[in-house]
Structure 1
Amino acid sequence: MIQSSAVDKRTPHTRTLSADLVVVGGGLAGTCCAITAARAGSRVILVQDRPVLGGNASSEVRLWVLGATSHMGNNNRWAREGGVIDEILVENLYRNPDSNPLIFDTLLLEKVVTEPNITLLLNTAVYEVEKVPGDPDSIAKVIGFCSQNSTRYELSAPLFCDASGDGIVGFLSGAAFRMGAESKEEFGEKFAPSQEYGELLGHSMYFYSKDVGRPVKFVPPSFALMDITQIPRFRSFNAQDFGCKLWWLEYGGRLDTVHETETIKWELWKVIYGVWNHIKNSGQFPEAQNLTLEWVGTIPGKRESRRFEGDYMLTQLDIVEQRTHDDAVAFGGWSIDLHPADGVFSEKPGCNQWHSKGTYGIPYRCFYSQNITNLFLAGRIISASHVAFGSSRVMATSAHGAQAVGQAAALCAELGLRPRQLAEQGYLGKLQKALLQNGQHIPQRHLQDEDDWVQQATISATSELVLSELREEAEPQPMEFATAQMIPVRAGKVPTIIIHPYATQPTTLEVELRICSRQDSHSPDLTLEKKTVALQPGRNCLHLDFQTTLTEPTYAFLMLANNPDVRLKFSPQRVTGVLSVFNSINPAVSNYGKQEPTEDIGVDAFEFWCPQRRPKGKNLALKLGEGAHRFSAQHVRNGLQRPTHQPNAWVADWADPAPALTLRWPEKRSIRRVELFFDTDYDHPAENVLMIHPEDVSPFCVRKYQLLDDRGKVVYEQTANHQTRNSIRWEEAIHTSSLTIRVEHPSGTSPAAIFEVRCYGE
């Protein structure tokens, strides 16, 4: 029995913990930051004020994770974010292709609790910051309280990361921040919103419905919005949409999105229950008779509140022009996506999205506080203008940047430095190298790793694909959109391209050869040649001989204008780094075939050429006169782990019965670690909720492989791979003068491919 005499007052039970890094906020940004730092050797405390991890991606909010891929609705090819967030999304695809948000919760929790260097504190809200005595610009500790175990935590570290969304640590510590939109003049941002449009994006809440197989009545709560016509778009409600497809159920942009969150939440509840009452009881939706509410959000998904000032502020021009930054450590690619402040009550469209022609780099200087010397910033609070925030705020972009923070924090801890000092003292190259080693893609930057023994190896392969044909399927398909095939070509004359269109009557086919004006962009905005070809009824054989000579390797786009009298044959064969794209539309991301600003808002006009989701999205059936020689074994050491301006992968020939890549050295090496990067289709967004995916493993991904030493002995074997990165370590070194990687084709229609191989002796 516990008995305590009456006292004047008591203080909560208190625990004091210390680490190398304290991360406040357990959304995707904080989670990926903590995992990255922990794997790099830092002791990390991860503090989350909710019972689960994931923030807006958790089962409490249920927003899908998206970033530069933008639902495959833009021109950013192979743009899914790499590193830890890729590992998480690919693992979720494997375990959870039906996109159950509860399963995603468990995956995030597992990723964190299996890291021995992370101490996880759930349900713990930070409410106080203490400074270093005599140093008002440095944080000594943060103090939080867990309501579930009635415990107060004092958490100290030399470094802190605020990934809390509202920036509680930055706010309490006195870090410079902004809230609301900048003027057009401050950064020359022509897209800066007017007061009428509003300066803040609001919160959203969602609901899920369920068919129970019998009629279900609904009696609305008294606080439900009964006059649904107050919502200008009330006619767009239907019984089929649920979850974050209702992202536009948004409110709060005219309020204080930090301190009036509870007010905003109640208004959103009114809207949700009013909408459901309208669906169930208006008589306009007989198909909703058997539907019941299965789930309604209890906390709102926040978009915008505080943004903190770093040594650099990302702006609209950085995104639109894809400016190069020497200190880039991450990338973005979501549209500049601003919403009217009145949200669901606005007469304006729910969002205003403007895309750039490609991905953009995000500088390291955006990820730490300008005035608090030991505070990193991660997630939506990084140093960005309101306009640039419209792009950088989304979760996959936030997580990708947070990985850079985790790696930087580990490096700072190792060197005894503060965030700014890491840049000032010349360690950015070391940071970028570590990020690239771990799968973090940085635009325009190759991994240069002098410790990698593959750089000194002689590389050979049993075969290298020369793409001379994409075999056609039996039946031609009607043209739904203008169609293009992306073909990786080397410098020199473009090879002759042979296609077989079918015509229902005499007609003509408009053909163009295009490339991209910016390297590593995939917006085909430069037309090199045009042809108009006469077609006869039935099958036609076209030999397209272009005279263009290219000065460097790139993707050539064979464009076929849409013609309702023409049918095309597609191919069941899928190859790493080879895609068909279509001038299709995707209203969900404001893609209507072409981006055409009607006023000068500082964005480009260009066409959208996007792939289709599997099982669609097959390549155009064709033949290449000289074949595409772009799948060399040498690519595995070029420092790139995804297609950019070329496939950057070794791809074996389809006919090779036992594909193998061999590394040879003149003397024996003592190998302790091998890094392999496979193709898990960086073009697929792998959304974590709502989207049902056609497969749980990418069709390009090598599932089975073996590593063999110079005696032919199998030193490692994998039979069920589904991940991008495979890191193989041996307790005792492998002594060998060669290493052979024997792979199995993923299927009869996708040849085996490897992006990168690295070997180390550590």
Structure 2
Amino acid sequence: MLRYSNNGARTSKLEKLKTDLVVIGGGIAGVCCAITAARKGIKVVLVQDRPVLGGNASSEVRLWILGATSHMGNNNRWAREGGVIDELLVENMYRNPDGNTLIFDTILLEKVWQEDNLTLLLNTAVYNTIKSEANRIAGINAFCSQNSMEYEITASLFCDASGDGIVAFQSGAAFRMGAESSDEFDEAFAPTKDYGELLGHTMYFMTKDVGKPVAFTPPAYALNDITKIPRYKQFSTQEHGCQLWWIEYGGRLDTVHETETIKWELWKVIYGVWDYIKNSGKFPEANTMTLEWVGQIPGKRESRRFEGHFTITQADIVEQRHFDDTVSFGGWAIDLHPADGIFSEKPGCNQWHSKGIYEIPYRSMIVKGIDNLFLAGRILSSSHVAFGSTRVMATSGHNGQAVGMAAALTIKNNCLPADLLVPDRMKVLQQALLKTGQYIPHLAYHDNEDLLNQHCTILAKDHLVLSEIPFDGELQPLEYNSAQLLPISGGPVPTFEIAINALEDTELVVSLRKSSKSFNYTPDVTLASKTYAVKKGKQHLTLHFDASLETNCYVFLCFHQNQKILIQTSQTRISGIVSVFNKQNKAVSNFGRQDPDPALGFESFEFWIPVRRPQGPNFAIKIDPPLDCFGESNLTNGFFRPYLKPNAWVADLQSETSEIIVKWHEVQQIRKITLSFDTDWDHPMESSLLTHEEHIMPFVINNYEVLDKDDQVIHIRSDNYQTRNEITLENTIISDTLKFRFQQPSKKVPIALFGLNIYK
């Protein structure tokens, strides 16, 4: 039926939708929010103004997803974000280790499509926000350009994850744009007017060698003077895609309303850069290369930031402040860029790291003045300086999950988002997030409905008592300061034995270090240091330190650089055990150590980082007394990754199979089981461009069985690669015993499991 306006003009077809939650924006934050809420049983409509999901991670922009792991370039060990964002990254790693963003598009669409409670509207842009009263949103109007449909969507709750904050803006919510003065939040890193107050947009291009000469004639609008780019000599044929993140522009403009102007300038730059590479004669290898793809829309970094009930600032990140309403975490450096972007004489970014991950409170996700609106993504309530860290996609996705869960609990309790700040309700929200795999710093999962909290006994067939990391690897020169990160219980530090080969008579300096905060992995406290005179040749050294620990924590057994010494490594990989090196990762402004001007408000410290597999083996070490921290009690301690200790049950290194037996004092009704595996929380799993050597993490258990008390198999899995397996049995099991049988991932990796939860 045709619709007409009052003046007789035809109008678009209108569809009215009513739902519980509307999520505006289909980037990583919006997708994680929508999936989380839908899985908790509420009705969700996800409105996305683009033809694909993923925002800056999609095939339209092609930026890799990163967060607290920071390309493995900082001291945030085992810090990849959990929950839905982890599920997406692990899935992408399995299907798409080459980082093809077209494949990642399909993964996101599939995950959304699979949710029965989720309605997806692609190519649909919000143009109007309907309010029922001054502090309440009633609905939105949106238009789909592909089917000429108008939508009027009403709901109880709204989440703005749109990047520019279209609904938050139209609703009248207070917002900020540009940098605050250093005085407002006492932020020493606040930029000067000369540096600029906004981060710009970026567009990428990708190239391909076609094996035959290819000519290139630039379009008339291409930049014709490459020297206008102060860093033009940094361009090469080796880098493309998001490796050229510094092709940035627009920080002096209105990054909302002048986006099209910014886009045109970026196109001029890209085609001018390619003209320089192809036609300057300085890159003969470019003769057979062609442009494979150029972005059509810019990737936005910064525009509006909305005011929540709490604003995250520089000190919250650097000091790692604790909040009672923490629901997420971050760990990317505070990363600000000059407003002039690619045309700036200054470096493309200015990054300073904290010593560990930091907490993100729920209050920064709920809007001040609009009672039923959540914030997700880069519009989170933060200062401009803190935004330099909170803006990245994996962090945004993790925050979006918190919002999705909060929305579900708000609907369930018939309350408003701010009502969840009541301590009892906040604990419910935090525990609900932990149950789905979200990581909240320092918080353990506990659920009275978990049958393992009933009267039961959990017995493992065996567990690892680590007396040595086997001496089965190659000798490796001490090219860098190197360390084995080891979980040590409170009390005297064990004695260690290592094997070395000295190329000549020399000295080996060994130190024992830990973090000043027990939960960090920055070795800023030296417990002891010794210098050993060693003779030329192969030998074993016994390392004894007169040191003691007050509590469980990880320590760094550090071997100081000496290329005259080779130290034996191990082929064995163990959950919760990793080697680290005082190396550089210039991609994240890691030059081995961080020494900022003290006036900037950051700390000085060294970087000790892992090396991506297949490099970076553990060091071969004998340990006396052995480390007995891998027992079955870890399965129920509520931590599903290393924190103060490994928190994993690990079977004996020699066990090709092993078992966990759960026996209750009384018969139980069993229907649901959750297993939490080790997909290496240190791995960033960048979603785009990079090629990963593994598509399944070496620690994850691929094959396992669940058996009843009569040893009848009630569930079998032979192809697992995911972090979490949530099993709903076809029939409820009535039993006082349940058995889990696991197969070793490989001969050099023992069976390991972070968590086991069982429900009716």
Task: Give the alignment's TM-score, normalised by structure 2.
Answer: 0.99
Contact kept, 8 Å, 2:311 with 2:364, in 1: the verdict is: yes
Contact kept, 8 Å, 1:462 with 1:656, in 2: the verdict is: no
Instruction: Describe how 1:65-76 pairs up with structure 2 within 5 A.
Output: 65-76=65-76
CA distance in 2, matches of 1:673, 1:620: 40
**Cα distance, 1:589 vs structure 2:** 0.1
- Asked if residue 156 in structure 1 is aligned to residue 136 in structure 2, the reply is no
**Cα distance, 1:479 vs structure 2:** 2.1
CA distance in 1, matches of 2:472, 2:714: 41
Residue aligning to 1:100: 100
Residue aligning to 2:327: 329
Contact kept, 8 Å, 1:523 with 1:607, in 2: the verdict is: yes
Q: Deviations over 1:175-228 (max 9, x none)?
A: 010001111111111111111110000000000001111000000000000100
Residue aligning to 1:360: 358
Residue aligning to 1:248: 246
**Cα distance, 1:657 vs structure 2:** 3.6
Cα RMSD for the two superposed structures: 1.4
CA distance in 1, matches of 2:675, 2:216: 55
Contact kept, 8 Å, 1:502 with 1:539, in 2: the verdict is: yes
Instruction: Describe how 1:621-632 pairs up with structure 2 within 5 A.
Output: 621-632=620-631
Instruction: Describe how 1:179-194 pairs up with structure 2 within 5 A.
Output: 179-194=177-192
Instruction: Describe how 1:494-505 pairs up with structure 2 within 5 A.
Output: 494-505=493-504
Contact kept, 8 Å, 1:489 with 1:629, in 2: the verdict is: no
Residue aligning to 2:43: 43
**Cα distance, 1:495 vs structure 2:** 1.1
**Cα distance, 1:437 vs structure 2:** 0.3
CA distance in 1, matches of 2:122, 2:614: 40
**Cα distance, 1:268 vs structure 2:** 0.3
Q: Deviations over 1:638-673 (max 9, x none)?
A: 000000111000000011242111111011111010
CA distance in 1, matches of 2:128, 2:730: 45
Contact kept, 8 Å, 2:2 with 2:11, in 1: the verdict is: no
Residue aligning to 1:27: 27
| One-letter amino acid of the structure 2 residue matched with residue 520 of structure 1 | F
544-553 vs 420-429, which deviates more? 420-429
1:147 counterpart (139, 145, 149): 145
Instruction: Describe how 1:221-370 pairs up with structure 2 within 5 A.
Output: 221-370=219-368
CA distance in 2, matches of 1:426, 1:447: 15
99-108 vs 473-482, which deviates more? 473-482
CA distance in 2, matches of 1:300, 1:570: 46
Q: Deviations over 1:301-342 (max 9, x none)?
A: 000000000010000011000000000000000000000000
- Asked if residue 543 in structure 1 is aligned to residue 530 in structure 2, the reply is no
Residue aligning to 1:210: 208
Q: Deviations over 1:82-104 (max 9, x none)?
A: 00000000000000011111000
Instruction: Describe how 1:699-718 pairs up with structure 2 within 5 A.
Output: 699-718=698-717
CA distance in 2, matches of 1:593, 1:81: 25
| One-letter amino acid of the structure 1 residue matched with residue 533 of structure 2 | A
Residue aligning to 1:493: 492
**Cα distance, 1:7 vs structure 2:** 8.3
**Cα distance, 1:31 vs structure 2:** 0.3
| One-letter amino acid of the structure 1 residue matched with residue 426 of structure 2 | L
CA distance in 1, matches of 2:540, 2:364: 54
Residue aligning to 2:388: 390
Q: 4+ residue runs of structure 1 moved beyond 6 angstroms?
A: 1-4
| One-letter amino acid of the structure 2 residue matched with residue 623 of structure 1 | K
**Cα distance, 1:461 vs structure 2:** 0.5
CA distance in 1, matches of 2:473, 2:480: 20
Residue aligning to 1:87: 87
CA distance in 2, matches of 1:412, 1:614: 43
- Asked if residue 513 in structure 1 is aligned to residue 512 in structure 2, the reply is yes
Unaligned runs of 5+ in 1: none
**Cα distance, 1:473 vs structure 2:** 3.6
Q: How many residues align?
A: 758
The 1:474–1:86 alpha-carbon spacing in structure 2 relative to 1, beyond 3 Å, is closer
| One-letter amino acid of the structure 2 residue matched with residue 35 of structure 1 | I
Local SS of the residue matching 1:280: helix
CA distance in 2, matches of 1:8, 1:711: 76
Local SS of the residue matching 1:430: helix
Instruction: Describe how 1:540-619 pairs up with structure 2 within 5 A.
Output: 540-619=539-618
CA distance in 1, matches of 2:487, 2:3: 77
CA distance in 2, matches of 1:184, 1:141: 38
Contact kept, 8 Å, 2:48 with 2:123, in 1: the verdict is: yes
Residue aligning to 1:663: 662
**Cα distance, 1:474 vs structure 2:** 5.2
| One-letter amino acid of the structure 1 residue matched with residue 107 of structure 2 | L
501-510 vs 577-586, which deviates more? 501-510
Contact kept, 8 Å, 1:65 with 1:688, in 2: the verdict is: yes
Residue aligning to 2:444: 446
| One-letter amino acid of the structure 2 residue matched with residue 66 of structure 1 | L
| One-letter amino acid of the structure 2 residue matched with residue 669 of structure 1 | Q
Residue aligning to 1:471: 470
CA distance in 2, matches of 1:478, 1:426: 55
CA distance in 1, matches of 2:661, 2:515: 35
CA distance in 2, matches of 1:453, 1:632: 19
| One-letter amino acid of the structure 2 residue matched with residue 322 of structure 1 | Q
Q: Deviations over 1:108-164 (max 9, x none)?
A: 0000011000000000000100101xx211000101100000011101101000000
Contact kept, 8 Å, 2:2 with 2:10, in 1: the verdict is: no
Residue aligning to 1:408: 406
**Cα distance, 1:449 vs structure 2:** 1.2
**Cα distance, 1:481 vs structure 2:** 1.1
CA distance in 1, matches of 2:341, 2:428: 44
Residue aligning to 1:120: 120
| One-letter amino acid of the structure 1 residue matched with residue 10 of structure 2 | R
CA distance in 1, matches of 2:423, 2:718: 45
**Cα distance, 1:540 vs structure 2:** 2.4
Task: Give the alignment's TM-score, normalised by structure 1.
Answer: 0.98
| One-letter amino acid of the structure 2 residue matched with residue 208 of structure 1 | M
CA distance in 2, matches of 1:687, 1:69: 10
| One-letter amino acid of the structure 2 residue matched with residue 531 of structure 1 | K
Local SS of the residue matching 1:655: coil
Q: Deviations over 1:514-536 (max 9, x none)?
A: 11111221111110000001111
**Cα distance, 1:608 vs structure 2:** 0.2
The 1:420–1:615 alpha-carbon spacing in structure 2 relative to 1, beyond 3 Å, is same
Contact kept, 8 Å, 2:305 with 2:381, in 1: the verdict is: yes
Residue aligning to 1:423: 421
CA distance in 2, matches of 1:709, 1:551: 43
| One-letter amino acid of the structure 2 residue matched with residue 616 of structure 1 | Q
Local SS of the residue matching 1:319: helix
